[in-house]
Amino acid sequence: MNEDTKIWGLGIGPGDPELITLKALKILQAADVVAYPAPANGDSLVRAIAAPHMSGSQEEIIISTPMVTERYPAQDVYDKGAAEISAAVEAGKSVAVLCEGDPFFYGSFMYLFARLSESYSVQVVPGVSSLSACSAELALPLAARNDVVSVIPGTIDADEMERQLLAANTAAIIKVGRHLGKIKAVLEKIGATEKSHYIERATMENQRIVALSDLDDESAPYFSMIIVRRNGEILDQ
Amino acid sequence: MNEDTKIWGLGIGPGDPELITLKALKILQAADVVAYPAPANGDSLVRAIAAPHMSGSQEEIIISTPMVTERYPAQDVYDKGAAEISAAVEAGKSVAVLCEGDPFFYGSFMYLFARLSESYSVQVVPGVSSLSACSAELALPLAARNDVVSVIPGTIDADEMERQLLAANTAAIIKVGRHLGKIKAVLEKIGATEKSHYIERATMENQRIVALSDLDDESAPYFSMIIVRRNGEILDQ
């Protein structure tokens, strides 16, 4: 641990509280202040994942994110959060920012990092990503040997999604949400439905796995993923 | 933990022993037998990463892999390893198989999994991948919003590599090794050298980071990666 570091982005893992690393756990428990995002009208999921490891006596900074489906919080949310974290550091405190999964894998921590890392030493502690969690829970190896793996947001348009899917051996489609119908249509078009596996809330208590061909839902929760093993090398071995 | 499970693939993390998860640590310490790959003529790296957490009194199964550069061990290595693990389970023992990084992210564990999972309950405990470790140590967010991230083995040919690089917002080139020259040439051709970051042995004591434009090495160690952020959305925010 860098003695000069006062700000950490902590990967807390995908959902199971036991999937936190020893390093993140130590920093979490030693920090003066714990910061985390929370929706304006609800509980913070990442705070809930970390809760079994917290004494409850630490100061907390809540980065309130008025997230609307498919829109991103305005960047002033991160201006405000960064200002609060800066104020804590200037008062001599250390701050651990909780991040679901891995901080730099589609995480909003990068916006705080961009604001804080010019003035302070900010360290990122990598965590178990949703990608690794989904692969493990599906019992589906992601890649071997010369396979190319692509992570594709479900938000991109159908033509681009098709192009990306055809270029990769394994694809992980994230941010499924209300794009489920579009995604299913693209997978059907390229003949990959039978090779696609749907999982939501991996490693959480309400985890759910459904073969894509059996999935009748019209939309999916935020924490869902479709893994497509189109033509990889694993099964040839 | 599934009471019936007697075999685990444990993600031990990328190198720093503190980057093991609580879940993997508990299973590692409770297992009757610890199994791991080791080169025929050297020490096992994953055994060394896990060593601080082991009592030394557990039975060990060494899966000896006569790995030649750029070739893969013959599959009979895994036949033999799976047979030894099966024998231990049949004798009433539990077996933890140590895996560097994440077991299903280009790990050889999948070959044992394919052999053992038909007869036994085999659980995978996801780990912090080299991808997350390299991103954290480079202080380089991998992806935001609609970015596509591709993981590209350095072993594929130059034309295909160029095509993959041009299709992704962020690319992580793994298995750099003796392909470093080819990779550098492709990145130079597409004008991405200045956007490329080289790291070897991330989170290990001998970690090394070099801007790709300053890297004069003719080859790279196995544990190296080049991350290319070509045209992502992060810096636009």
In a domain, A38, yes or no: yes
A106 contacts on B by Cβ (under 8 Å): 142-145, 147
> CB–CB of A19 and B21 under 8 A?
yes
Nearest C-alpha neighbor of B72 from the set A3, A162, A234: A234
> CB–CB of A21 and B18 under 8 A?
yes
> CB–CB of B22 and A18 under 8 A?
yes
Q: How many CB pairs under 8 A join A and B?
A: 191
Distance CA B149, CA B187 (A): 16
Q: Quick one: B33 and B80 in the same domain?
A: yes
Residue in chain B closest to A74 (alpha carbons) equals B237
Nearest to A110 among B153, B156, B234 (CB): B234
User: Which of B128, B160, B179 is the endpoint of a domain?
Assistant: B128
We report the CATH number of the domain holding residue A55 as 3.40.1010.10
Distance CA B14, CA B126 (A): 12
Task: Output the tens digit of pLDDT for each of chain A's 237 residues.
Answer: 455 789 999 999 999 999 999 999 999 999 999 999 998 888 999 999 999 999 999 999 999 987 655 556 678 899 999 999 999 999 999 999 999 999 999 999 999 999 999 999 999 999 999 999 999 999 999 998 899 999 999 999 999 999 999 999 999 999 999 999 999 999 999 999 999 999 999 999 999 999 998 998 888 988 899 999 977 655 433
A167 contacts on B by Cβ (under 8 Å): 163-164, 167
Choose from A124, A135, A157, A176 for mutation: most chain B CBs within 10 A. A124
> CB–CB of A127 and B128 under 8 A?
yes
> CB–CB of B151 and A156 under 8 A?
no
Calculate Rg over the CA atoms of chain A: 19
> CB–CB of A21 and B26 under 8 A?
no
Q: Quick one: A20 and A54 in the same domain?
A: yes
Distance CA B9, CA A194 (A): 26
> CB–CB of A136 and B20 under 8 A?
no
Distance CA B128, CA A7 (A): 21
**Which tokens go with A168?**
């990769």
A26 contacts on B by Cβ (under 8 Å): 18
In a domain, A66, yes or no: yes
In a domain, B2, yes or no: no
Q: Are B169 and B232 in contact (CB under 8 A)?
A: yes
Q: Quick one: B68 and B156 in the same domain?
A: no
Distance CA B88, CA B83 (A): 9
Query: Residue A187 has what DSSP assignment?
Result: H
Nearest to A23 among B16, B114, B139 (CB): B16
In a domain, A101, yes or no: yes
Q: What is the dihedral of CA A70, A72, A74, A78, to 10 degrees?
A: 160
Give pLDDT < 50 ranges for chain B.
1, 235-237
> CB–CB of B128 and A128 under 8 A?
yes
Show the domain range for A119: 7-128
Domain count along chain A: 2
Nearest C-alpha neighbor of A213 from the set A191, A236, A235: A191
> CB–CB of B105 and A164 under 8 A?
no
Calculate Rg over the CA atoms of chain B: 19
User: Which of A83, A109, A128 is the endpoint of a domain?
Assistant: A128
Q: Are A131 and A105 in contact (CB under 8 A)?
A: yes
Q: Quick one: B215 and B124 in the same domain?
A: no
Q: Quick one: B151 and B88 in the same domain?
A: no
**Which tokens go with A16?**
């199971």
We report the CATH number of the domain holding residue B173 as 3.30.950.10
Task: Name the pairing type of β-strands B122-125 and B7-11.
Answer: parallel
pLDDT tens for B26-80 read 999 999 999 999 988 889 999 999 999 999 999 999 999 876 555 566 788 999 9
> Interface pTM (ipTM) of the complex?
0.94
For A188, other C-beta atoms within 10 Å of its C-beta total: 14
Q: Are A23 and B22 in contact (CB under 8 A)?
A: no
Q: Quick one: A154 and A138 in the same domain?
A: yes
A16 contacts on B by Cβ (under 8 Å): 23
Distance CA B57, CA A89 (A): 45
B102 contacts on A by Cβ (under 8 Å): 128, 132, 135-136
> CB–CB of B132 and A104 under 8 A?
yes
